[in-house]
Structure 1
Amino acid sequence: MISAPAKINLFLKVLGVRPDGYHDIFSWFQALDLADTLEIEETSETEIEIDTDRTDLPTGPDNLIHKAIKLLREKYRIRSGFRVTLTKRIPIAAGLGGGSSDAAAAIKAVNHLLNLGLTRTEMAAMGLQIGSDIPFFFSRGQAEVTGRGENVKDLQLATDYDVVLVTPPFGISAAEGYRQVNLDLTDSVQDISLSRCRQVDGLIHAISGMANDLERGLCYSYPVLEEIKRKLAQTGADVVRLSGSGPTLFALYRDRNRTRETLAKAGDGGKWGLALASPVTLPA
Protein backbone atom coordinates (compact mmCIF):
# COMPACT_ATOMS: atom_id res chain seq x y z
CA MET A 1 0.00 0.00 0.00
CA ILE A 2 1.25 3.47 -0.85
CA SER A 3 -0.01 6.85 0.34
CA ALA A 4 -0.82 9.73 -2.03
CA PRO A 5 -0.97 13.03 -0.09
CA ALA A 6 -2.98 16.12 -0.92
CA LYS A 7 -1.33 19.50 -1.38
CA ILE A 8 -2.28 23.14 -0.99
CA ASN A 9 -0.82 26.15 -2.73
CA LEU A 10 0.27 28.51 0.02
CA PHE A 11 0.25 31.11 -2.76
CA LEU A 12 0.07 30.94 -6.54
CA LYS A 13 1.35 33.62 -8.89
CA VAL A 14 0.52 33.31 -12.59
CA LEU A 15 3.32 34.96 -14.56
CA GLY A 16 2.17 34.57 -18.14
CA VAL A 17 1.23 32.24 -20.97
CA ARG A 18 4.00 30.12 -22.51
CA PRO A 19 4.41 29.39 -26.22
CA ASP A 20 3.21 25.82 -25.53
CA GLY A 21 -0.09 27.14 -24.12
CA TYR A 22 0.68 26.39 -20.48
CA HIS A 23 1.06 29.13 -17.86
CA ASP A 24 4.28 29.94 -16.05
CA ILE A 25 3.71 30.01 -12.31
CA PHE A 26 5.53 30.83 -9.10
CA SER A 27 4.04 28.93 -6.18
CA TRP A 28 4.77 27.31 -2.86
CA PHE A 29 3.27 23.82 -2.55
CA GLN A 30 2.73 22.18 0.84
CA ALA A 31 1.83 18.49 1.28
CA LEU A 32 -0.86 17.49 3.79
CA ASP A 33 -1.57 14.39 5.84
CA LEU A 34 -4.92 14.06 4.05
CA ALA A 35 -4.18 11.28 1.59
CA ASP A 36 -5.53 8.67 -0.80
CA THR A 37 -4.14 5.14 -0.66
CA LEU A 38 -3.28 2.80 -3.52
CA GLU A 39 -2.66 -0.93 -3.61
CA ILE A 40 -1.03 -2.07 -6.85
CA GLU A 41 -0.40 -5.64 -7.94
CA GLU A 42 1.02 -7.10 -11.12
CA THR A 43 -1.29 -9.45 -13.03
CA SER A 44 -0.92 -11.98 -15.82
CA GLU A 45 -3.42 -10.05 -17.92
CA THR A 46 -2.54 -7.11 -20.16
CA GLU A 47 -5.12 -4.67 -18.88
CA ILE A 48 -4.79 -1.86 -16.35
CA GLU A 49 -7.68 -2.24 -13.90
CA ILE A 50 -8.59 0.44 -11.38
CA ASP A 51 -11.08 -0.30 -8.62
CA THR A 52 -12.18 2.58 -6.43
CA ASP A 53 -14.76 3.46 -3.81
CA ARG A 54 -15.79 6.56 -5.80
CA THR A 55 -18.41 5.93 -8.48
CA ASP A 56 -17.95 9.46 -9.88
CA LEU A 57 -14.28 8.90 -10.72
CA PRO A 58 -13.39 7.67 -14.24
CA THR A 59 -11.22 4.55 -14.13
CA GLY A 60 -10.43 4.19 -17.83
CA PRO A 61 -7.76 5.71 -20.07
CA ASP A 62 -8.52 9.27 -18.89
CA ASN A 63 -7.59 8.45 -15.30
CA LEU A 64 -4.13 9.78 -14.39
CA ILE A 65 -3.18 6.50 -12.69
CA HIS A 66 -4.03 4.65 -15.90
CA LYS A 67 -2.00 7.14 -17.94
CA ALA A 68 1.01 6.83 -15.62
CA ILE A 69 1.10 3.04 -15.74
CA LYS A 70 0.49 3.01 -19.50
CA LEU A 71 3.45 5.36 -19.99
CA LEU A 72 5.70 3.10 -17.89
CA ARG A 73 4.56 0.01 -19.76
CA GLU A 74 5.29 1.58 -23.13
CA LYS A 75 8.65 3.06 -22.18
CA TYR A 76 9.99 -0.08 -20.46
CA ARG A 77 8.17 -2.66 -22.60
CA ILE A 78 6.32 -4.12 -19.64
CA ARG A 79 4.00 -6.90 -20.77
CA SER A 80 2.14 -7.60 -17.55
CA GLY A 81 -1.05 -5.91 -16.47
CA PHE A 82 -1.79 -4.15 -13.19
CA ARG A 83 -4.67 -4.04 -10.77
CA VAL A 84 -5.00 -0.87 -8.70
CA THR A 85 -7.25 -0.51 -5.67
CA LEU A 86 -7.72 3.18 -4.95
CA THR A 87 -9.25 4.51 -1.74
CA LYS A 88 -10.14 8.17 -2.21
CA ARG A 89 -10.04 10.62 0.67
CA ILE A 90 -8.98 13.71 -1.29
CA PRO A 91 -11.90 15.53 -2.97
CA ILE A 92 -11.95 15.23 -6.77
CA ALA A 93 -11.14 18.26 -9.00
CA ALA A 94 -10.78 20.37 -5.86
CA GLY A 95 -7.40 22.10 -6.25
CA LEU A 96 -5.72 19.66 -3.85
CA GLY A 97 -3.75 17.65 -6.41
CA GLY A 98 -5.44 14.33 -5.67
CA GLY A 99 -5.27 12.93 -9.19
CA SER A 100 -1.69 14.10 -9.66
CA SER A 101 -0.65 12.58 -6.34
CA ASP A 102 -2.33 9.29 -7.25
CA ALA A 103 -0.41 9.22 -10.55
CA ALA A 104 2.89 9.92 -8.78
CA ALA A 105 2.15 7.16 -6.27
CA ALA A 106 1.44 4.74 -9.13
CA ILE A 107 4.79 5.56 -10.76
CA LYS A 108 6.60 5.01 -7.44
CA ALA A 109 4.77 1.74 -6.82
CA VAL A 110 5.48 0.25 -10.26
CA ASN A 111 9.10 1.39 -10.05
CA HIS A 112 9.44 -0.47 -6.74
CA LEU A 113 7.39 -3.50 -7.77
CA LEU A 114 9.39 -4.14 -10.94
CA ASN A 115 12.78 -2.92 -9.66
CA LEU A 116 13.07 -0.42 -12.52
CA GLY A 117 15.67 1.59 -10.61
CA LEU A 118 14.27 4.99 -11.58
CA THR A 119 15.48 8.01 -9.63
CA ARG A 120 13.09 10.63 -8.28
CA THR A 121 14.25 12.99 -11.02
CA GLU A 122 13.48 10.41 -13.70
CA MET A 123 10.08 9.63 -12.21
CA ALA A 124 9.24 13.33 -11.96
CA ALA A 125 10.15 13.82 -15.63
CA MET A 126 7.80 10.98 -16.58
CA GLY A 127 5.06 12.46 -14.44
CA LEU A 128 5.38 15.83 -16.16
CA GLN A 129 4.34 14.17 -19.41
CA ILE A 130 0.96 13.48 -17.80
CA GLY A 131 0.30 16.48 -15.56
CA SER A 132 1.99 19.69 -14.42
CA ASP A 133 1.48 19.11 -10.67
CA ILE A 134 2.87 15.57 -10.64
CA PRO A 135 6.61 16.44 -10.27
CA PHE A 136 5.93 18.07 -6.89
CA PHE A 137 4.92 14.72 -5.40
CA PHE A 138 8.47 13.44 -5.85
CA SER A 139 9.77 16.25 -3.60
CA ARG A 140 10.09 16.42 0.19
CA GLY A 141 6.56 17.85 0.41
CA GLN A 142 7.48 21.53 0.70
CA ALA A 143 8.62 23.18 -2.50
CA GLU A 144 8.88 26.26 -4.64
CA VAL A 145 7.34 25.32 -7.99
CA THR A 146 8.03 27.33 -11.15
CA GLY A 147 7.75 26.96 -14.90
CA ARG A 148 4.55 25.04 -15.60
CA GLY A 149 5.42 22.73 -12.70
CA GLU A 150 8.64 21.14 -13.92
CA ASN A 151 10.96 23.17 -11.68
CA VAL A 152 10.64 21.95 -8.09
CA LYS A 153 12.95 23.32 -5.41
CA ASP A 154 12.74 21.84 -1.91
CA LEU A 155 12.03 24.28 0.93
CA GLN A 156 12.13 24.12 4.71
CA LEU A 157 8.93 25.64 6.10
CA ALA A 158 7.18 25.64 9.45
CA THR A 159 4.58 22.91 9.98
CA ASP A 160 3.18 23.76 13.44
CA TYR A 161 -0.25 24.96 12.36
CA ASP A 162 -3.61 23.46 11.44
CA VAL A 163 -5.30 23.49 8.06
CA VAL A 164 -9.07 23.49 7.66
CA LEU A 165 -10.29 22.60 4.17
CA VAL A 166 -13.76 23.55 2.93
CA THR A 167 -14.91 22.13 -0.40
CA PRO A 168 -18.25 23.00 -2.04
CA PRO A 169 -20.06 20.19 -3.91
CA PHE A 170 -18.67 20.79 -7.40
CA GLY A 171 -15.33 20.50 -9.17
CA ILE A 172 -13.33 23.00 -11.20
CA SER A 173 -10.81 21.82 -13.76
CA ALA A 174 -7.38 23.42 -13.91
CA ALA A 175 -8.12 24.49 -17.50
CA GLU A 176 -11.19 26.42 -16.35
CA GLY A 177 -9.31 27.97 -13.47
CA TYR A 178 -6.56 29.32 -15.68
CA ARG A 179 -9.05 30.61 -18.24
CA GLN A 180 -10.45 32.85 -15.50
CA VAL A 181 -7.17 34.60 -14.67
CA ASN A 182 -6.67 38.19 -15.77
CA LEU A 183 -2.92 38.67 -16.15
CA ASP A 184 -3.36 42.46 -16.13
CA LEU A 185 -4.58 42.22 -12.52
CA THR A 186 -1.85 39.95 -11.16
CA ASP A 187 0.86 41.37 -8.93
CA SER A 188 4.60 41.06 -9.36
CA VAL A 189 6.51 38.41 -7.41
CA GLN A 190 7.72 39.62 -4.02
CA ASP A 191 10.94 38.66 -2.28
CA ILE A 192 10.40 36.28 0.63
CA SER A 193 12.84 35.60 3.46
CA LEU A 194 13.10 31.81 3.53
CA SER A 195 14.91 31.74 6.86
CA ARG A 196 11.99 33.50 8.56
CA CYS A 197 9.53 30.96 7.12
CA ARG A 198 11.03 28.14 9.18
CA GLN A 199 9.09 29.65 12.09
CA VAL A 200 5.31 29.71 11.85
CA ASP A 201 4.98 33.44 12.58
CA GLY A 202 7.40 34.27 9.78
CA LEU A 203 5.66 31.90 7.38
CA ILE A 204 2.22 33.35 8.07
CA HIS A 205 3.56 36.89 7.68
CA ALA A 206 5.23 36.06 4.37
CA ILE A 207 2.35 34.28 2.67
CA SER A 208 -0.24 36.76 3.97
CA GLY A 209 1.32 39.28 1.59
CA MET A 210 0.90 36.92 -1.38
CA ALA A 211 -2.22 35.62 -3.14
CA ASN A 212 -3.67 33.01 -5.47
CA ASP A 213 -4.04 34.79 -8.80
CA LEU A 214 -6.83 32.41 -9.84
CA GLU A 215 -8.97 33.35 -6.86
CA ARG A 216 -10.44 36.65 -8.05
CA GLY A 217 -11.89 35.30 -11.29
CA LEU A 218 -13.18 32.07 -9.76
CA CYS A 219 -14.85 33.86 -6.85
CA TYR A 220 -16.63 36.05 -9.41
CA SER A 221 -17.82 33.02 -11.39
CA TYR A 222 -18.69 31.01 -8.27
CA PRO A 223 -20.07 33.38 -5.58
CA VAL A 224 -20.22 30.53 -3.04
CA LEU A 225 -16.42 30.66 -2.91
CA GLU A 226 -16.58 34.26 -1.69
CA GLU A 227 -19.18 33.19 0.87
CA ILE A 228 -16.93 30.41 2.20
CA LYS A 229 -13.94 32.73 2.23
CA ARG A 230 -15.87 35.31 4.25
CA LYS A 231 -17.06 32.73 6.79
CA LEU A 232 -13.56 31.35 7.27
CA ALA A 233 -12.13 34.84 7.73
CA GLN A 234 -14.70 35.47 10.47
CA THR A 235 -13.29 32.52 12.46
CA GLY A 236 -10.01 34.36 13.02
CA ALA A 237 -7.95 32.30 10.59
CA ASP A 238 -4.42 33.56 9.98
CA VAL A 239 -4.70 32.96 6.22
CA VAL A 240 -7.71 32.10 4.03
CA ARG A 241 -7.04 31.20 0.41
CA LEU A 242 -8.16 29.19 -2.59
CA SER A 243 -5.93 26.18 -3.29
CA GLY A 244 -4.86 25.76 -6.90
CA SER A 245 -7.80 26.20 -9.23
CA GLY A 246 -10.23 25.39 -6.43
CA PRO A 247 -12.92 25.03 -5.43
CA THR A 248 -11.37 24.08 -2.06
CA LEU A 249 -10.54 26.97 0.23
CA PHE A 250 -8.16 26.49 3.13
CA ALA A 251 -7.72 28.33 6.39
CA LEU A 252 -4.50 28.25 8.41
CA TYR A 253 -4.56 28.49 12.20
CA ARG A 254 -1.70 28.91 14.62
CA ASP A 255 -4.26 28.81 17.46
CA ARG A 256 -5.66 25.27 17.56
CA ASN A 257 -8.58 26.37 19.74
CA ARG A 258 -9.80 28.38 16.77
CA THR A 259 -9.46 25.27 14.62
CA ARG A 260 -11.93 23.40 16.79
CA GLU A 261 -14.36 26.32 16.71
CA THR A 262 -14.14 26.45 12.93
CA LEU A 263 -14.83 22.73 12.53
CA ALA A 264 -18.00 23.22 14.53
CA LYS A 265 -19.22 26.09 12.34
CA ALA A 266 -17.79 25.97 8.83
CA GLY A 267 -19.52 23.00 7.23
CA ASP A 268 -22.75 24.93 6.61
CA GLY A 269 -24.91 22.10 7.89
CA GLY A 270 -23.15 19.45 5.83
CA LYS A 271 -23.60 21.30 2.52
CA TRP A 272 -19.84 21.77 2.15
CA GLY A 273 -17.13 19.17 2.60
CA LEU A 274 -15.03 19.85 5.67
CA ALA A 275 -11.67 18.37 6.65
CA LEU A 276 -8.92 19.00 9.17
CA ALA A 277 -5.36 18.43 7.98
CA SER A 278 -1.79 19.08 9.00
CA PRO A 279 1.19 20.07 6.84
CA VAL A 280 3.75 17.30 6.46
CA THR A 281 7.11 16.60 4.90
CA LEU A 282 7.55 13.54 2.68
CA PRO A 283 10.28 10.88 2.79
CA ALA A 284 13.37 11.49 0.69
Structure 2
Amino acid sequence: MKKIRLKAMAKINLGLDVVRKREDGYHEVRMIMQTIRMYDQIELEPTEAPGIRVSTNLNYLPTNEDNLVYKAAKLLMDEFDVKKGLNIGLRKFIPVAAGMAGGSSDAAAVMVGVNRLFHLNLSQKELMERGVKIGADVPYCILRGTALAEGIGEKLTHLPPAPAGYVLIAKPGIHVSTKFVYTNLKANELESHPDIDGQIQAIRSGDLKKVAELCGNVLETVTIPAYPVIEEIKDVMKKGGALNACMSGSGPTVFGLFDDREKAKAVYENLYGGELAKQVYLTTFFNNRKSGR
Protein backbone atom coordinates (compact mmCIF):
# COMPACT_ATOMS: atom_id res chain seq x y z
CA MET A 1 0.00 0.00 0.00
CA LYS A 2 1.53 3.28 -1.09
CA LYS A 3 -0.60 6.06 0.35
CA ILE A 4 -3.98 6.46 2.02
CA ARG A 5 -6.22 9.45 2.63
CA LEU A 6 -8.70 9.79 5.48
CA LYS A 7 -11.28 12.25 6.77
CA ALA A 8 -11.00 13.37 10.38
CA MET A 9 -14.49 14.60 11.26
CA ALA A 10 -15.49 17.24 13.78
CA LYS A 11 -17.95 16.76 16.63
CA ILE A 12 -20.38 18.87 18.58
CA ASN A 13 -21.89 18.20 22.01
CA LEU A 14 -25.67 18.07 21.77
CA GLY A 15 -25.63 17.92 25.55
CA LEU A 16 -22.76 18.36 28.01
CA ASP A 17 -23.14 17.83 31.73
CA VAL A 18 -20.44 17.69 34.39
CA VAL A 19 -21.64 15.39 37.16
CA ARG A 20 -18.89 16.11 39.65
CA LYS A 21 -15.22 16.83 40.14
CA ARG A 22 -13.41 13.67 41.16
CA GLU A 23 -10.79 13.39 43.85
CA ASP A 24 -8.11 12.77 41.20
CA GLY A 25 -8.84 16.20 39.69
CA TYR A 26 -10.68 14.92 36.63
CA HIS A 27 -14.28 15.85 35.92
CA GLU A 28 -16.92 13.17 35.50
CA VAL A 29 -19.12 14.00 32.52
CA ARG A 30 -22.24 12.87 30.70
CA MET A 31 -22.24 14.10 27.12
CA ILE A 32 -24.09 13.37 23.91
CA MET A 33 -21.51 13.49 21.15
CA GLN A 34 -22.44 13.99 17.50
CA THR A 35 -20.24 13.86 14.41
CA ILE A 36 -20.87 16.53 11.78
CA ARG A 37 -19.88 16.77 8.13
CA MET A 38 -16.83 18.97 8.61
CA TYR A 39 -13.42 17.41 8.38
CA ASP A 40 -9.66 17.70 8.21
CA GLN A 41 -7.81 15.71 5.57
CA ILE A 42 -5.12 13.23 6.56
CA GLU A 43 -2.66 11.65 4.13
CA LEU A 44 -0.42 8.80 5.27
CA GLU A 45 2.52 7.49 3.27
CA PRO A 46 4.95 4.80 4.48
CA THR A 47 8.66 5.39 3.90
CA GLU A 48 11.70 3.14 3.96
CA ALA A 49 13.54 5.66 6.13
CA PRO A 50 12.45 5.26 9.79
CA GLY A 51 10.86 8.09 11.72
CA ILE A 52 7.64 10.11 11.67
CA ARG A 53 7.42 13.34 9.69
CA VAL A 54 4.45 15.69 9.91
CA SER A 55 3.53 18.50 7.51
CA THR A 56 0.53 20.81 7.79
CA ASN A 57 -1.15 23.69 5.99
CA LEU A 58 -1.10 25.86 9.15
CA ASN A 59 2.32 27.22 10.01
CA TYR A 60 1.53 27.72 13.71
CA LEU A 61 0.82 24.04 14.37
CA PRO A 62 3.66 21.87 15.75
CA THR A 63 5.05 19.18 13.47
CA ASN A 64 6.90 17.27 16.18
CA GLU A 65 5.80 15.06 19.08
CA ASP A 66 3.68 17.95 20.40
CA ASN A 67 1.15 17.26 17.63
CA LEU A 68 -1.44 14.61 18.47
CA VAL A 69 -1.11 13.00 15.04
CA TYR A 70 2.56 12.35 15.77
CA LYS A 71 1.73 10.89 19.20
CA ALA A 72 -0.99 8.68 17.72
CA ALA A 73 1.29 7.24 15.04
CA LYS A 74 4.16 6.73 17.47
CA LEU A 75 1.95 4.95 19.99
CA LEU A 76 1.03 2.22 17.53
CA MET A 77 4.31 2.06 15.63
CA ASP A 78 6.29 1.65 18.85
CA GLU A 79 3.95 -1.00 20.24
CA PHE A 80 4.08 -3.09 17.08
CA ASP A 81 7.74 -2.34 16.32
CA VAL A 82 7.02 -0.97 12.85
CA LYS A 83 10.38 -0.62 11.11
CA LYS A 84 9.24 1.65 8.30
CA GLY A 85 8.78 5.39 8.64
CA LEU A 86 5.67 7.47 8.05
CA ASN A 87 4.89 10.78 6.38
CA ILE A 88 1.75 12.45 7.75
CA GLY A 89 0.16 15.24 5.74
CA LEU A 90 -2.44 17.19 7.72
CA ARG A 91 -4.75 19.73 6.09
CA LYS A 92 -6.76 21.53 8.76
CA PHE A 93 -10.26 22.85 8.10
CA ILE A 94 -11.91 22.23 11.49
CA PRO A 95 -11.43 25.37 13.59
CA VAL A 96 -8.51 25.03 16.00
CA ALA A 97 -9.08 25.21 19.79
CA ALA A 98 -12.79 25.41 19.15
CA GLY A 99 -14.45 22.70 21.24
CA MET A 100 -14.94 20.49 18.17
CA ALA A 101 -12.31 17.79 18.87
CA GLY A 102 -10.30 18.62 15.76
CA GLY A 103 -6.99 17.48 17.23
CA SER A 104 -8.54 14.35 18.73
CA SER A 105 -10.22 13.49 15.44
CA ASP A 106 -6.92 13.92 13.58
CA ALA A 107 -5.27 11.52 16.04
CA ALA A 108 -8.13 9.04 15.66
CA ALA A 109 -7.86 9.09 11.87
CA VAL A 110 -4.11 8.51 12.06
CA MET A 111 -4.64 5.52 14.37
CA VAL A 112 -7.19 4.05 11.96
CA GLY A 113 -4.82 4.71 9.05
CA VAL A 114 -1.70 3.27 10.70
CA ASN A 115 -3.68 0.17 11.65
CA ARG A 116 -4.74 -0.24 8.02
CA LEU A 117 -1.44 0.76 6.43
CA PHE A 118 0.78 -1.58 8.43
CA HIS A 119 -1.77 -4.42 8.75
CA LEU A 120 -1.85 -4.35 12.57
CA ASN A 121 -5.29 -6.03 12.54
CA LEU A 122 -6.59 -4.15 15.60
CA SER A 123 -10.36 -4.06 16.05
CA GLN A 124 -12.20 -0.77 16.50
CA LYS A 125 -12.53 -1.57 20.22
CA GLU A 126 -8.79 -2.22 20.50
CA LEU A 127 -8.02 1.05 18.75
CA MET A 128 -10.36 2.91 21.10
CA GLU A 129 -8.67 1.36 24.15
CA ARG A 130 -5.35 2.73 22.93
CA GLY A 131 -6.81 6.05 21.80
CA VAL A 132 -7.67 7.15 25.34
CA LYS A 133 -3.92 7.28 26.04
CA ILE A 134 -3.76 10.18 23.55
CA GLY A 135 -6.85 12.03 24.79
CA ALA A 136 -10.30 11.47 26.29
CA ASP A 137 -12.11 12.37 23.03
CA VAL A 138 -10.02 10.10 20.81
CA PRO A 139 -12.03 6.89 21.42
CA TYR A 140 -15.23 8.70 20.42
CA CYS A 141 -13.55 10.11 17.31
CA ILE A 142 -12.64 6.55 16.31
CA LEU A 143 -16.25 5.45 16.91
CA ARG A 144 -18.06 8.50 15.44
CA GLY A 145 -21.81 9.01 15.00
CA THR A 146 -24.19 9.63 17.91
CA ALA A 147 -23.02 8.41 21.32
CA LEU A 148 -23.33 8.93 25.05
CA ALA A 149 -19.94 9.61 26.65
CA GLU A 150 -19.44 9.10 30.37
CA GLY A 151 -16.55 8.90 32.84
CA ILE A 152 -13.96 11.40 31.61
CA GLY A 153 -15.44 10.91 28.15
CA GLU A 154 -13.96 7.51 27.40
CA LYS A 155 -16.97 5.33 28.35
CA LEU A 156 -19.08 5.25 25.21
CA THR A 157 -22.55 3.93 24.42
CA HIS A 158 -23.85 3.79 20.85
CA LEU A 159 -27.08 5.69 20.29
CA PRO A 160 -29.38 5.59 17.28
CA PRO A 161 -28.55 8.23 14.64
CA ALA A 162 -29.75 11.68 15.65
CA PRO A 163 -32.72 12.96 13.62
CA ALA A 164 -31.69 14.83 10.48
CA GLY A 165 -31.41 18.59 10.54
CA TYR A 166 -29.14 21.46 9.57
CA VAL A 167 -26.23 22.52 11.74
CA LEU A 168 -24.89 26.06 11.63
CA ILE A 169 -21.39 26.42 13.06
CA ALA A 170 -19.96 29.81 14.10
CA LYS A 171 -16.62 30.36 15.81
CA PRO A 172 -15.72 33.83 17.07
CA GLY A 173 -12.15 35.01 16.62
CA ILE A 174 -11.03 33.98 20.10
CA HIS A 175 -9.34 30.95 21.62
CA VAL A 176 -10.61 29.41 24.84
CA SER A 177 -8.39 27.30 27.06
CA THR A 178 -10.08 24.05 28.09
CA LYS A 179 -7.95 24.09 31.22
CA PHE A 180 -9.22 27.60 32.08
CA VAL A 181 -12.83 26.49 31.71
CA TYR A 182 -12.57 23.35 33.82
CA THR A 183 -10.41 25.05 36.44
CA ASN A 184 -13.04 27.74 36.92
CA LEU A 185 -16.06 25.45 36.73
CA LYS A 186 -17.78 25.06 40.09
CA ALA A 187 -18.88 21.53 39.26
CA ASN A 188 -20.34 20.78 42.68
CA GLU A 189 -22.31 24.04 42.84
CA LEU A 190 -24.13 23.95 39.49
CA GLU A 191 -27.76 24.99 39.92
CA SER A 192 -29.08 23.21 36.83
CA HIS A 193 -28.05 20.34 34.59
CA PRO A 194 -29.09 19.48 31.03
CA ASP A 195 -31.58 16.62 30.72
CA ILE A 196 -29.25 14.10 29.07
CA ASP A 197 -31.64 11.18 29.56
CA GLY A 198 -34.50 13.17 28.05
CA GLN A 199 -32.35 14.06 25.08
CA ILE A 200 -31.43 10.40 24.55
CA GLN A 201 -35.15 9.58 24.48
CA ALA A 202 -35.76 12.36 21.96
CA ILE A 203 -32.99 10.93 19.76
CA ARG A 204 -34.55 7.46 20.00
CA SER A 205 -37.92 9.00 19.06
CA GLY A 206 -36.45 10.90 16.10
CA ASP A 207 -37.71 14.21 17.50
CA LEU A 208 -35.30 16.93 16.33
CA LYS A 209 -37.25 19.74 18.00
CA LYS A 210 -37.08 17.99 21.37
CA VAL A 211 -33.39 17.17 20.88
CA ALA A 212 -32.77 20.87 20.23
CA GLU A 213 -34.97 22.02 23.11
CA LEU A 214 -32.94 19.91 25.54
CA CYS A 215 -29.53 21.06 24.29
CA GLY A 216 -27.44 22.36 27.17
CA ASN A 217 -23.82 22.80 28.18
CA VAL A 218 -22.81 23.51 31.78
CA LEU A 219 -19.44 24.85 30.64
CA GLU A 220 -21.27 27.92 29.35
CA THR A 221 -21.46 29.06 32.98
CA VAL A 222 -17.73 29.76 32.77
CA THR A 223 -17.12 30.56 29.12
CA ILE A 224 -19.96 32.98 28.39
CA PRO A 225 -19.20 35.39 31.28
CA ALA A 226 -15.59 35.49 30.10
CA TYR A 227 -16.53 35.79 26.40
CA PRO A 228 -20.00 37.39 25.98
CA VAL A 229 -19.73 37.14 22.18
CA ILE A 230 -20.76 33.49 22.54
CA GLU A 231 -24.16 34.53 23.90
CA GLU A 232 -24.48 37.14 21.16
CA ILE A 233 -23.98 34.49 18.47
CA LYS A 234 -26.51 32.20 20.16
CA ASP A 235 -29.05 35.03 20.16
CA VAL A 236 -28.54 35.73 16.45
CA MET A 237 -29.13 32.07 15.64
CA LYS A 238 -32.25 31.79 17.78
CA LYS A 239 -33.75 35.01 16.40
CA GLY A 240 -33.04 33.69 12.90
CA GLY A 241 -35.10 30.57 13.44
CA ALA A 242 -32.78 28.06 15.08
CA LEU A 243 -34.62 25.47 17.16
CA ASN A 244 -31.89 26.14 19.69
CA ALA A 245 -28.26 27.22 19.85
CA CYS A 246 -25.56 26.02 22.19
CA MET A 247 -21.81 26.12 22.76
CA SER A 248 -19.84 23.02 21.83
CA GLY A 249 -17.33 21.57 24.29
CA SER A 250 -15.44 24.22 26.22
CA GLY A 251 -16.05 26.67 23.38
CA PRO A 252 -15.95 29.09 21.84
CA THR A 253 -17.75 27.51 18.86
CA VAL A 254 -21.53 27.89 18.81
CA PHE A 255 -23.85 25.61 16.86
CA GLY A 256 -27.47 26.18 15.94
CA LEU A 257 -29.90 23.39 15.01
CA PHE A 258 -32.40 24.12 12.25
CA ASP A 259 -35.19 22.14 10.60
CA ASP A 260 -35.41 24.65 7.74
CA ARG A 261 -32.45 25.00 5.37
CA GLU A 262 -33.46 28.43 4.08
CA LYS A 263 -33.58 29.86 7.60
CA ALA A 264 -30.21 28.29 8.37
CA LYS A 265 -28.75 29.71 5.16
CA ALA A 266 -30.06 33.20 5.95
CA VAL A 267 -28.43 33.17 9.39
CA TYR A 268 -25.26 31.77 7.84
CA GLU A 269 -25.11 34.73 5.45
CA ASN A 270 -25.84 37.15 8.29
CA LEU A 271 -23.01 35.81 10.46
CA TYR A 272 -20.60 35.28 7.56
CA GLY A 273 -20.75 38.93 6.65
CA GLY A 274 -20.70 40.22 10.23
CA GLU A 275 -18.16 40.80 12.97
CA LEU A 276 -19.31 38.30 15.60
CA ALA A 277 -17.86 35.18 14.00
CA LYS A 278 -14.62 34.63 12.08
CA GLN A 279 -15.49 31.16 10.79
CA VAL A 280 -19.00 30.12 9.74
CA TYR A 281 -20.15 26.83 8.21
CA LEU A 282 -23.48 25.23 7.34
CA THR A 283 -23.53 21.45 7.48
CA THR A 284 -25.44 18.36 8.67
CA PHE A 285 -25.00 15.43 11.04
CA PHE A 286 -22.86 12.47 10.01
CA ASN A 287 -24.16 9.09 11.15
CA ASN A 288 -23.24 6.47 8.55
CA ARG A 289 -20.97 4.31 10.67
CA LYS A 290 -20.49 1.76 7.90
CA SER A 291 -18.93 4.17 5.41
CA GLY A 292 -15.17 4.50 5.11
CA ARG A 293 -13.10 7.42 6.25
Q: Where do residues 51-66 of structure 1 align in structure 2 (5 Å cutoff)?
A: 51-66=55-70
Give the superposition deviation at 1:194.
4.1
Unmatched tracts of structure 1, length 5 or more: none
Q: Where do residues 1-284 of structure 1 align in structure 2 (5 Å cutoff)?
A: 1-183=5-187, 184-188=189-193, 190=195, 191-192=197-198, 194=200, 196-200=202-206, 202-269=207-274, 272-284=278-290
- What secondary structure does 2:78 align onto? helix
Checking the alignment, whether the CA contact within 8 Å between 2:100 and 2:248 is kept in structure 1 is: yes
Unmatched tracts of structure 2, length 5 or more: none
Counterpart residue identity of residue 148, structure 2: E
Aligned-pair identity (%): 35
Give the superposition deviation at 1:199.
5.0
Question: How far apart in 1 are the matches of 2:94 and 2:191?
Answer: 29
Note closer, same or farther for the CA distance 1:208–1:179 as it changes in structure 2 (3 Å cut).
farther
Question: How far apart in 2 are the matches of 1:98 and 1:36?
Answer: 8
Bigger drift between 54-63 and 204-213 goes to: 204-213
Note closer, same or farther for the CA distance 1:210–1:165 as it changes in structure 2 (3 Å cut).
closer
- What secondary structure does 2:241 align onto? coil
Question: How far apart in 2 are the matches of 1:74 and 1:197?
Answer: 40
Counterpart residue identity of residue 182, structure 2: Y
Counterpart residue identity of residue 38, structure 1: I
Give the superposition deviation at 1:210.
4.4
Deviations 1:58-78 (A, max 9, x none): 221111101111111221122
Bigger drift between 76-85 and 128-137 goes to: 76-85
List 4+ stretches of structure 1 deviating above 3 A: 188-191, 193-196
Checking the alignment, whether the CA contact within 8 Å between 1:180 and 1:214 is kept in structure 2 is: no
Give the superposition deviation at 1:56.
2.1
Give the superposition deviation at 1:133.
0.5
Question: How far apart in 2 are the matches of 1:80 and 1:276?
Answer: 40
Question: How far apart in 2 are the matches of 1:141 and 1:132?
Answer: 16
Cα RMSD (Å) of the superposition?
Answer: 1.8
**What TM-score results when the alignment is normalised by the length of structure 2?**
0.91
Give the superposition deviation at 1:187.
2.7
Checking the alignment, whether the CA contact within 8 Å between 2:10 and 2:35 is kept in structure 1 is: yes
Give the superposition deviation at 1:268.
4.8
Question: How far apart in 2 are the matches of 1:210 and 1:76?
Answer: 42
Question: How far apart in 1 are the matches of 2:176 and 2:24?
Answer: 22
- What secondary structure does 2:107 align onto? helix
Give the superposition deviation at 1:118.
0.4
Note closer, same or farther for the CA distance 1:53–1:186 as it changes in structure 2 (3 Å cut).
farther
Question: How far apart in 2 are the matches of 1:55 and 1:71?
Answer: 24
